[in-house]
């Protein structure tokens, strides 16, 4: 009987580049920058890595369709390397591959790396992925759809379901961005590092009502990586205060949302499914009391807002009160986006999931500098790829090794 992966794998080391408009380097240099920090943190030689997983979404502007791009850039020692892609959950998918390999006993030490070089595309937003961003999904025609438009509909559905006034929802999602920018100011690796006010956010140009310019995350370049192993090997290397993987869960839309049967468009069915399974795997019974901090996929401010409830941290319909009360602020009960989130980092797709884990890892080791939280024990990360009606959702939970 499967019993999950709780505490079977620990993170030996992590690394992350500065995110932003990295015209100074190519994809290979980004990977090397993150890897050098990671391998130094892990305290091992690259020849000790036995397998690697590489997350990259846009092969045409990255290092190609296969795995040699990572192996060549990092000079890996002729080991198995697997390239993965799963929309915006690509970085977490790479991490999942490495963690599962170690948990299964297939290898002792594995690498997960994610990278994306988006600024070179020339797009103001994300290029099309299999036609998704241009308005079609396999076997379907969805004319005139865009990411801001689809997530604006999420906001409208939420407002209708919970009978929320337009101005109240607008102000609440503005506070989501204000909070993230306050945190991003303290992070030297973030792309955007300027504070904003609620008034600035609410007055920004409308992209897709009610989402304004400051409700949307930007486009950037970046890379992040992790090296994982077993607790016994980590202890044998002299590592103390280990950070272990408590849960990894993935849920993918099966088409029911697109049928508009029971789903009303106001939440993400996949987030609810993945989070319930992750909490069970991690042994968490009350996330509002047991989660210390979390990073969510704030591609738009409304996405973060709805995710508070889909993760069962805010009660359904209670997100407005929580965010306006400061529950998710850096000094609140459960800080969200303590590093600035996608809102301040941008979203180089292959890197985002691992970048989120990097922040949780630093916080758990007490190495987050100016933004360090007081004694965190459990961190959660959330990735969402696709549209509200067809998506991939990944949940990772890490914490201090028991």
Strand intervals (E) in 271-347:
293-295
255 and 347: one domain?
A: yes
pTM: 0.94
- Domain assignment present for 289: yes
288 and 232: one domain?
A: no
Do 226 and 354 touch, CB atoms closer than 8 A? yes
Query: What are the pLDDT digits (tens) for 62-88?
Result: 677 889 999 999 999 999 999 999 999
Distance CA 89, CA 351 (A): 9
377 and 329: one domain?
A: yes
Query: What are the pLDDT digits (tens) for 311-323?
Result: 999 999 999 999 9
Q: Considering the chain, what percentage of its residues have pLDDT values greater than 90? A: 84
At residue 131 the predicted structure's pLDDT band, cuts being 50, 70 and 90, is very low
- Domain assignment present for 260: yes
- Domain assignment present for 96: yes
Do 211 and 148 touch, CB atoms closer than 8 A? yes
Supply angle C-alpha 185, 146, 175, rounded to 5: 30
- Domain assignment present for 15: yes
Domain count, the chain: 2
- Domain assignment present for 338: yes
Q: Is the pLDDT of residue 144 over 70?
A: no
- Domain assignment present for 97: yes
Q: Is the pLDDT of residue 380 over 80?
A: yes
pLDDT of residue 195: 94
pLDDT of residue 94: 97
- Domain assignment present for 54: yes
pLDDT of residue 262: 81
200 and 186: one domain?
A: yes
Domain of residue 207 covers 147-216+245-400
Q: Is the pLDDT of residue 261 over 80?
A: no
Chain centroid to CA 88: 8
272 and 367: one domain?
A: yes
Q: Is the pLDDT of residue 141 over 50?
A: no
Contacts of 401 (CB under 8 A, 6+ apart): 7, 10, 231, 242, 243, 244
35 and 184: one domain?
A: no
- Domain assignment present for 139: no
Distance CA 211, CA 214 (A): 8
Distance CA 85, CA 92 (A): 10
Q: What is the CATH number of the domain that holds 205?
A: 3.40.47.10
107 and 80: one domain?
A: yes
Q: Is the pLDDT of residue 139 over 60?
A: no
252 and 112: one domain?
A: no
- Strand pairing of 293-295 and 378-387? parallel
Query: What are the pLDDT digits (tens) for 292-305?
Result: 999 999 999 999 99
Do 281 and 246 touch, CB atoms closer than 8 A? yes
195 and 228: one domain?
A: no
Q: What are residue 251's DSSP bridge partners?
A: 393
Report, as an integer, the average pLDDT of 334-339: 98
pLDDT of residue 255: 85
187 and 115: one domain?
A: no
232 and 252: one domain?
A: no
103 and 185: one domain?
A: no
Of 141 and 104, the one with more pLDDT:
104
pLDDT of residue 58: 77
List active site positions. Answer: 88, 347
Q: Is the pLDDT of residue 140 over 80?
A: no
Q: What are residue 16's DSSP bridge partners?
A: 224
Q: Is the pLDDT of residue 60 over 50?
A: yes
At residue 129 the predicted structure's pLDDT band, cuts being 50, 70 and 90, is low
Q: What are residue 212's DSSP bridge partners?
A: 206
At residue 119 the predicted structure's pLDDT band, cuts being 50, 70 and 90, is confident
């Amino acid at each position: 009987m499967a019993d999950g992966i709780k505490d079977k794998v620990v993170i030996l080391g992590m690394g992350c580049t500065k995110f932003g408009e990295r015209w100074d380097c190519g994809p290979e240099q980004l990977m090397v920058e993150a890897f050098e920090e990671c391998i130094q943190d892990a305290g091992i030689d690259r020849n000790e890595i036995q397998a690697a997983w590489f997350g990259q979404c846009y092969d045409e502007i990255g290092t190609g369709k296969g795995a040699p791009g990572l192996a060549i850039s990092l000079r890996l020692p002729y080991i198995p390397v697997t390239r993965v892609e799963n929309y915006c959950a690509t970085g977490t998918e790479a991490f999942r591959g490495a963690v599962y390999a170690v948990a299964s006993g297939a290898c002792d030490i594995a690498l997960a790396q994610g990278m994306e070089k988006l600024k070179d595309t020339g797009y103001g937003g994300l290029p099309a992925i299999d036609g998704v961003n241009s308005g079609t999904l396999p076997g379907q025609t969805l004319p005139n759809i865009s990411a801001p438009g689809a997530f604006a509909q999420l906001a409208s559905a939420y407002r209708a379901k919970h009978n929320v006034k337009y101005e109240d929802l607008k102000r609440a999602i503005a506070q989501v961005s204000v909070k993230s920018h306050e945190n991003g100011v303290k992070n030297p690796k973030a792309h955007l590092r300027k504070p904003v006010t609620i008034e600035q956010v609410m007055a920004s140009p409308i992209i897709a009502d009610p989402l304004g310019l400051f409700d949307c995350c930007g486009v950037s370049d970046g890379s992040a990586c992790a090296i994982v192993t077993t607790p016994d090997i980590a202890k044998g290397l002299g590592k103390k205060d280990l950070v272990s993987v408590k849960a990894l869960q993935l849920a993918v839309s099966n088409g029911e949302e697109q049928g508009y049967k029971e789903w009303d468009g106001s939440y993400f069915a996949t987030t609810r499914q993945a989070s319930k399974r992750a909490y069970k795997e991690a042994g968490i019974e009350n996330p509002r009391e047991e989660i210390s901090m979390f990073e969510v996929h704030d591609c738009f401010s409304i996405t973060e807002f709805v995710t508070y409830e889909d993760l069962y941290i805010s009660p359904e319909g209670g997100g407005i009160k929580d965010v306006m009360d400061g529950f998710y602020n850096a000094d609140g009960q459960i800080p969200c986006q303590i590093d600035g989130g996608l809102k301040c980092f941008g979203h180089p797709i292959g890197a985002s999931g691992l970048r989120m884990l990097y922040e949780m890892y630093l916080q758990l080791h007490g190495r987050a500098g100016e933004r360090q939280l007081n004694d965190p024990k459990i961190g959660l990360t959330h990735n969402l790829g696709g549209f509200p009606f067809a998506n991939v959702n990944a949940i990772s939970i890490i914490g201090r090794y028991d």
